[in-house]
Every structure is written in structure tokens, then in C-alpha cells.
């Protein structure tokens, strides 16, 4: 058939991860991790929480764990363990019924013999196992009844083998004596191989010879003795747990019935030896566990063992999904087992989560410090700051009714002149002069500008600007426990991060210091402030924070000092001469006096000061109003959602010399 006429068939891709699937989206993960970090989680905990919750339209570890537990409960609620006994009883009842029918049909039968046989059948024990055992020497008159009775032995043999070798029950249906002898020979050779392996005397050649002879019994296709033992021990342990899960009466019945398996005591001896070998080689398997089945769907020994294997696999998945063990990672997840138990969609969700975990570290958003702990990287902080600044700018623009162009961060006012670009310049290009320079250079070099123009760094001219005043900005943020208790912790951090990103990317000539104050105060880099957990510690030491701000401003004497203070409580602590923090509630006059004196010092330095009052504490409102009046400052009372735009607006006003008299709600 010509190649261009060949038809194609399409179906689901089953070769692993979809090669055409889009890459994982890290923006949602980074936003969620960052939010949790700001509430007090470590980055590692925050990443774990995101993986547990999952993302938009995607199951997380908790969802998968719930599905695993639900499937486990369903298996136990649906099934019971009496399947083999029930099937054996049905075959026994059938044999007895057919034998009695034969009595009625056989008119030539001696009446005394018939009466004796009827009494013999009527006197059988109620126990199926005991009745089967008692009938072992019975001379059946009905060939059909004898066949039904022999089926009990065949059933038990196939079930006992199916417990150790999945699928054997179906494979040996209608088996011949030659088939049974092949099984017996395989068991003998297998026990010999395992015994040699236990003594350390086996070779790879022994294993290869065994598989060449009996490989059809092992569809798992193990590649070594160890793989063979692993597979068999797991199923043998599940078979033992199945027996442990039965009632004492059920176990006794099956033990008695098992003696009739295939009518071959050797089979049971070989199976017993196999269990002993496997238990000696794999003592760590769960040989003593049990489950409580509550359903009505009776399971045979082989199927029941398979269900116990499923339950063990589900328990293993539950441990993997919990991630509670040392060194846990999503690469540990058995995706094949997850697909078997919950379906392909669960495996896809787990694979995506594992890719997210790996990508968050490979992308550089999370990195390990020298102490081995995960941290948000500078790249992650920049991306988070950019996102927060964008959100804050939108709030600011919405408040003023137009786009606030002050966020552009121009280096100064245009002077009308231009000059060649030099490395490090951030001024805007003069486009007209730049293109003109490129045309002239191209013509001078013998080129034809009409056929295309390629810019060279020598062509670029920038618009000169007059120098603008640079600002030294101190953002003082209250980190007393009330900030976390009242839900102000994350908005405070968002504000600090947005301001930091604005200064570091748009106003690089300014200097910013972030100072947190609780019982004590300290200057923190933005990443440490972002990850700072709330501490249940009393004290609002504004005095110490103002001391640090004063020291910061003195390091930058040529810059305009801008002081921004975010707080939700009156000063309740001040720094003593010996460096200790003195705390008292209500605030003592000494604390207020020390705080006011330091603020006056900042006022004399010319600091443009704005207080951001959070909450409705009337004492705080009176205190901040008086403080602002002393140094010609301002008090702003924003809603929490508006805190970031309020702080950015005050910073921009301060550095541009504008005033904004609109009250903040």
C-alpha cells in the first residue's frame, strides 16, 4: 500500500509524562509559598503546604491521601473473606444432592445399602471441612456427584496456589495430572533455589536455569533472585495477613480443607516450606497484621490475597504522600502504584507536584543556605516585590483616578541637552538623536540606510537631567505580637517588600533601611523581614527603632531623611543606658519621654515623618497626633488593604517635595 495512503491511529500517550504538556506554572506556587512565608512559615514548610493543598484544578497531596484512604475503606466495606468456604460448601451441597438423586433413580440398588448410605450422608458433620474429610473414602454412586466432590479438592489446590502465585486459580482450571505435576516440580525447584540462596550458595546460573525451566509461572519476569524473593514475599505476607484476618472458625475450616488440596499432601508441604523460606529471607515484611472486612462480597483465597496486597500498597502510598519521614521528597512517590490504585489522573497530579517541587529549586526561587534550610532566593524576592509593587501601584492609581507616573522613577528633570550614553546611565534615550547618529554612521561606513539600519552602542544619546534630591528612607515596622494577633502581620510585610522593590528598581539613588521593633529594634534585610515569624513577646520599643533610624540618617548626611513609621500601639518599652529594654504597660512617662526626645532629634535633622496608625486605639491616636505636631509630620490611618499604597504615596510625596492633605480612611 502506498505510504501516502496509510491510515494512522491515535490514542492516549502512555510513554510517561506528556512531551507536549506545557511546563509547570511556578507563579502560583511562588505566590502561595511567599504568602505563607510572610505569615511565619519557613520556605520549606510553605512549599510543603502548597504541595499539600495543590493548585487551581490540580489535586494536592492531601487530596490524593484522602482518595487513598477512601479506596482502602471501600475495599474493606465491600468484601468478606468467606468466598472459598462458600464455594466449597456449594460444591459439597451439589455433590450430596446429586448422590441422593442417584439413590432415587437406581431401582436395582439394594434397599439396605441405600438406607446405610442415606444414614451416612445424613450423619455428616455440619462443618464443611469435616464433611469433606469424612467423605474422602466414600464410594460415590453418582459419577456427577463424584466429579463435584473432586472439584472441591481442585478448587482448594488452585486457591492455595493462587495465594502465592497470582492468576494460578484461572490458569489451572481443568488442569490435567501433568499440569499438577509441573506445578509440584516448580515448587520443589523453587524451594531448593531459595534454600541455597538463604545459605549464600546460589549463583546467577542457578537462577537463570530456574527461570528457563519455570519462567512461565512468573509473569513479573524477575531479573534476579532478589527480585523474585521480593515479589513472592510480598504476596506470601499478604496471604498470611488474610489468614490472620479470618475468624478462628474460618481459619480452622480452611486448614482442614487445605489437606484435601489436589488430594496431594506433598503440595501443602511444599507450600509450607515456601512460606518458611520467604519469611526467613524477608522477615521485615508484615507477616502478623490483619484487617477487618465488613462487606458481603465473598473473596476466595487468591482474590483476598490480592486485596490484602492492594491494601498494603495503599498503606505504602499513604506513607509516601504524608512525607513525614526523614529526607522525604515527591520523587519517592510510586507513580505506577498510584495509577493502579487511583487511576492515571492521580499519577498525573502527583507527577505535576513532583515537577513543581523540583522546578521551584531548579529555577532558583528557593535555595539552600549554609545551614541546609531552604530560603526564598533574591530572584524570588525580586519577583515577589515586583508583583506586590504592581498591585500597590494599581491601588494608588485607582485612588488618584489616573496612573501615578511618579512610579517611573526618573533620575531628574530634563535639561534639554543630550550626551553620549555611558555604562551605568539610566536616563531615557533621545530617540531622534540616536537614529540620526545611526544613519550618519551607516552612510560613513559605506552602507545603505534604506536597506536596513543596525544600531550600535556608539549611536546612543541620552537626555541629560538635572540632579534631583536623593532620599534616605527609614521604614519602621511594628512587630509586636498584636500585629500578628490582629491580622496586620502580612499587610505590614507586603508594604515593606513593595517599598523595597520600588526603591531598589526605580529609585536606585535612594537608600532604604527596614527596621522592625518589638521589645527591641533591629535593622533587617528584606528577605529576613519577609521570613520573620511572629513571636509572642510584649513590648513596642519605638524609642530603640528611632535610635537606629537616627544612626542610619547620619550615615547619609547629604540625603533627604524620610521617616515612615507603621504601628498599632503606643510605646511600651524604651532602651536603657545599659542596653536592656524596659517594658511597662500602661506606658510609663519615662518611656514616652525617651521616645519623644529621640523624635525631636530626628526633627532637628529635618526628617520628613509620617506615622501610619493601624487600629482604633484612642491612646495611640492621641500620642501619634502630638508626636506629628512636634515635628510637623503627618498621621495617616489607612485600611489594612490600603497600607501599601499609603506608604508608597507618602514616600513619593516626601522625595518630590509634594504634599498630600487628603485624609486616608
Quick one: 534 and 623 in the same domain?
yes
165-182 confidence digits (pLDDT tens): 888 888 888 878 888 889
pLDDT at 20: 42
Q: How confident is the model at residue 8 (pLDDT cuts 50, 70, 90)?
A: very low
Quick one: 588 and 607 in the same domain?
yes
Residue 10 lies in a domain: no
pLDDT at 517: 94
Q: Are 665 and 638 in contact (CB under 8 A)?
A: yes
CA 314/CA 304 separation, integer angstroms: 15
Quick one: 331 and 262 in the same domain?
no
Quick one: 192 and 264 in the same domain?
yes
Domain boundary among 231, 257, 292: 292
Quick one: 634 and 554 in the same domain?
yes
Provide φ and ψ at 415, rounded to 5°.
-95, -10
Inter-CA distances, 554 with 308, 576, 607, Å: 74, 22, 11
Residue 301 lies in a domain: no
Stretch 255-265: mean pLDDT = 77
Q: Are 91 and 152 in contact (CB under 8 A)?
A: yes
Q: How confident is the model at residue 416 (pLDDT cuts 50, 70, 90)?
A: low
Quick one: 258 and 198 in the same domain?
yes
Is the pLDDT at 347 greater than 70? The verdict is: yes
Quick one: 217 and 188 in the same domain?
yes
Quick one: 438 and 552 in the same domain?
no
Q: Cell match 508583583: residue?
A: 387
Domain boundary among 258, 292, 326: 292
The DSSP call for residue 580 is: P
**Least confident residue range of 57-61, 184-188, 365-369:** 365-369
Q: Domain span at residue 641?
A: 471-656
Sort 386 into a burial class: Cβ within 10 Å, 0-12 / 13-18 / 19+.
Answer: middle
Quick one: 143 and 120 in the same domain?
yes
595-639 confidence digits (pLDDT tens): 999 999 999 999 999 999 998 888 889 999 999 999 999 999 888
Q: How large a percentage of the chain has pLDDT more than 70?
A: 87
Mean pLDDT, all residues of the chain: 84
Domains in the chain, number = 4
pLDDT at 566: 93
**Least confident residue range of 28-32, 367-371, 406-410, 606-610:** 406-410
Inter-CA distances, 450 with 39, 169, 439, 515, Å: 59, 85, 9, 58
The closest alpha carbon to 531, from 30, 34, 38, belongs to 38
pLDDT at 213: 94
pLDDT at 207: 95
Higher pLDDT, 21 or 360: 360
Q: What 3-state DSSP class applies to 368?
A: strand
Domain boundary among 376, 396, 428: 376
Quick one: 112 and 195 in the same domain?
yes
487-531 confidence digits (pLDDT tens): 888 889 888 888 888 888 778 888 999 999 999 999 999 888 887
CA 146/CA 163 separation, integer angstroms: 26
Is the pLDDT at 376 greater than 90? The verdict is: no
Question: Facing residues of 524 across strands?
Answer: 514
For the entire predicted model, the pTM comes to: 0.65
pLDDT at 401: 47
Provide φ and ψ at 404, rounded to 5°.
-85, 100
460-484 confidence digits (pLDDT tens): 888 866 545 689 999 999 999 888 8
Stretch 387-413: mean pLDDT = 57
Higher pLDDT, 120 or 414: 120
Quick one: 640 and 503 in the same domain?
yes
Quick one: 369 and 353 in the same domain?
yes
Amino acid at each position: 500500500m502506498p505510504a501516502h495512503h496509510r491510515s494512522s491511529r491515535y490514542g492516549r500517550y502512555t510513554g510517561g509524562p506528556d512531551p507536549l504538556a506545557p511546563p509547570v506554572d511556578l507563579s502560583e506556587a511562588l505566590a502561595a509559598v511567599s504568602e505563607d512565608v510572610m505569615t511565619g512559615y519557613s520556605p520549606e514548610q510553605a512549599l510543603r503546604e502548597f504541595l499539600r493543598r495543590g493548585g487551581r484544578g490540580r489535586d494536592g497531596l492531601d487530596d490524593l491521601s484522602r482518595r487513598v484512604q477512601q479506596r482502602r475503606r471501600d475495599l474493606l466495606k465491600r468484601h468478606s473473606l468467606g468466598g472459598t468456604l462458600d464455594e466449597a460448601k456449594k460444591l459439597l451441597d451439589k455433590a450430596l444432592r446429586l448422590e441422593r438423586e442417584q439413590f432415587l433413580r437406581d431401582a436395582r440398588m439394594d434397599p439396605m445399602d441405600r438406607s446405610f448410605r442415606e444414614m451416612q450422608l445424613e450423619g455428616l458433620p455440619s462443618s464443611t471441612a469435616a464433611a469433606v474429610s469424612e467423605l474422602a473414602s466414600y464410594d460415590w454412586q453418582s459419577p456427577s456427584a463424584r466429579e463435584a466432590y473432586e472439584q472441591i479438592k481442585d478448587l482448594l489446590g488452585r486457591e492455595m496456589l493462587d495465594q502465592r502465585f497470582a492468576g494460578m486459580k484461572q490458569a489451572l482450571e481443568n488442569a490435567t495430572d501433568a499440569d499438577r505435576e509441573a506445578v509440584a516440580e516448580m515448587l520443589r525447584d523453587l524451594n531448593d533455589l531459595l534454600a541455597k540462596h538463604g545459605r549464600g550458595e546460589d549463583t546467577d546460573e542457578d537462577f537463570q536455569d530456574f527461570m528457563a525451566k519455570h519462567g512461565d509461572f512468573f509473569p513479573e519476569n524477575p531479573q534476579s533472585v532478589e527480585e523474585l524473593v521480593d515479589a513472592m514475599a510480598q504476596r506470601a505476607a499478604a496471604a498470611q495477613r488474610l489468614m490472620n484476618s479470618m475468624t478462628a472458625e474460618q481459619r480452622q475450616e480452611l486448614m482442614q480443607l487445605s489437606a484435601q488440596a489436589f488430594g496431594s499432601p506433598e503440595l501443602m508441604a511444599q507450600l509450607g516450606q515456601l512460606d518458611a523460606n520467604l519469611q526467613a529471607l524477608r522477615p521485615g515484611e508484615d507477616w502478623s497484621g490483619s484487617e477487618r472486612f465488613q462487606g458481603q462480597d465473598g473473596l476466595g483465597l487468591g482474590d483476598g490475597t490480592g486485596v490484602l496486597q492492594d491494601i498494603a500498597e495503599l498503606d505504602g502510598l499513604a506513607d509516601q504522600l504524608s512525607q513525614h519521614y526523614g529526607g522525604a521528597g515527591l520523587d519517592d512517590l510510586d507513580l505506577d502504584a498510584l495509577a493502579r490504585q487511583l487511576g492515571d489522573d492521580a499519577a498525573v497530579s502527583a507527577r505535576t507536584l513532583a515537577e513543581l517541587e523540583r522546578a521551584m529549586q531548579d529555577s532558583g526561587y528557593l535555595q539552600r543556605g549554609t545551614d541546609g534550610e531552604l530560603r526564598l532566593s533574591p530572584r524570588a524576592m525580586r519577583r515577589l516585590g515586583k508583583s506586590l509593587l504592581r498591585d500597590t501601584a494599581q491601588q494608588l492609581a485607582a485612588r488618584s483616578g489616573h496612573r501615578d507616573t511618579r512610579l517611573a522613577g526618573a533620575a531628574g528633570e530634563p535639561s534639554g541637552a543630550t550626551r553620549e550614553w555611558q555604562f551605568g546611565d539610566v536616563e531615557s534615550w533621545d530617540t531622534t538623536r540616536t537614529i540620526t547618529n545611526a544613519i550618519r554612521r551607516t552612510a560613513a561606513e559605506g552602507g545603505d540606510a534604506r536597506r536596513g539600519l543596525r544600531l550600535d552602542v556608539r549611536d546612543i544619546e541620552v537626555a541629560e537631567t538635572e540632579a534631583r534630591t536623593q532620599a534616605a528612607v527609614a521604614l519602621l515596622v511594628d512587630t509586636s505580637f498584636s500585629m500578628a494577633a490582629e491580622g496586620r502581620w502580612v499587610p505590614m510585610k507586603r508594604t515593606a517588600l513593595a517599598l523595597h522593590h520600588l526603591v531598589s528598581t526605580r529609585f536606585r539613588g535612594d537608600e532604604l533601611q527596614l527596621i522592625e521593633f518589638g521589645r527591641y529594634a533591629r535593622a533587617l534585610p528584606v528577605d529576613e523581614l519577609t521570613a520573620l515569624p511572629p513571636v509572642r513577646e510584649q513590648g513596642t520599643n519605638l524609642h530603640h527603632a528611632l535610635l537606629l533610624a537616627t544612626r542610619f540618617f547620619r550615615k547619609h548626611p547629604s540625603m533627604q531623611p524620610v521617616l515612615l513609621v507603621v504601628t498599632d500601639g503606643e510605646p511600651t518599652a524604651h532602651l536603657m543606658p545599659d542596653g536592656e529594654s524596659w517594658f511597662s504597660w500602661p506606658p510609663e512617662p519615662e518611656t514616652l519621654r525617651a521616645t519623644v526626645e529621640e523624635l525631636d532629634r530626628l526633627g532637628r535633622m529635618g526628617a520628613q515623618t509620617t506615622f501610619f496608625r493601624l487600629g482604633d486605639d484612642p491612646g495611640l491616636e492621641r500620642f501619634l497626633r502630638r508626636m506629628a505636631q512636634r515635628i510637623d509630620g503627618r498621621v495617616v490611618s489607612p485600611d489594612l488593604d490600603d497600607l501599601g499604597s499609603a506608604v508608597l504615596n507618602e514616600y513619593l510625596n516626601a522625595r518630590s517635595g509634594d504634599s498630600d492633605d487628603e485624609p486616608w480612611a
